[in-house]
Structure 1
Amino acid sequence: MRYVIAFFFPFLSLMLQGKIMSGLLCLVLQLTLIGWIPAFIWAVTSLNRMYADRRNRQLIAELKRR
């Protein structure tokens, strides 16, 4: 679902991640037709990074329990 939001509304995807200033900058970028593609790539990259960070934190917590 978040990837759909990142595709259609890249600025909203960043804002939902808590990156308000990045979201506003992405909105300005998205308002231009040429800038929409980099805004989409930025949102998806940020989303992938968020999931990787979450996965790494879970792995570290699991290792600490052992």
Structure 2
Amino acid sequence: MRLILALVLPFVVFFTINRPFQGIFCLLLQITVIGWIPAAIWAVYALGQYKTDKKIRDIVGK
């Protein structure tokens, strides 16, 4: 679900993974038509990093 959201509304993904400052910056980038594609790529990348970090935290037990 978050992956689809990352493609449609990239800035919202940053708010769902507790990164509000990056979400605001992504919104500013997304406002421009040219910036939409980099914003979507950035959101997908950040979502992948979030999932990886979450798996590592689950394994370590923190």
- TM-score using structure 1 length: 0.86
Q: How does 1:1-66 map to 2 (within 5 A)?
A: 1-61=1-61
Q: CA deviation at 1:56?
A: 1.0
Q: CA RMSD in A?
A: 0.8
Q: CA deviation at 1:59?
A: 1.9
Q: Deviations over 1:5-61 (max 9, x none)?
A: 101000000111111111011001001111001100110111000100111112223
**Runs of 5+ unmatched residues, structure 1:** 62-66
**Runs of 5+ unmatched residues, structure 2:** none
- TM-score using structure 2 length: 0.91
C-alpha distance in 2 between matches for 1:59 and 1:24 = 31
Aligned residues between the structures: 61
Higher relative contact order (CA 8 A, sep 6+): 2
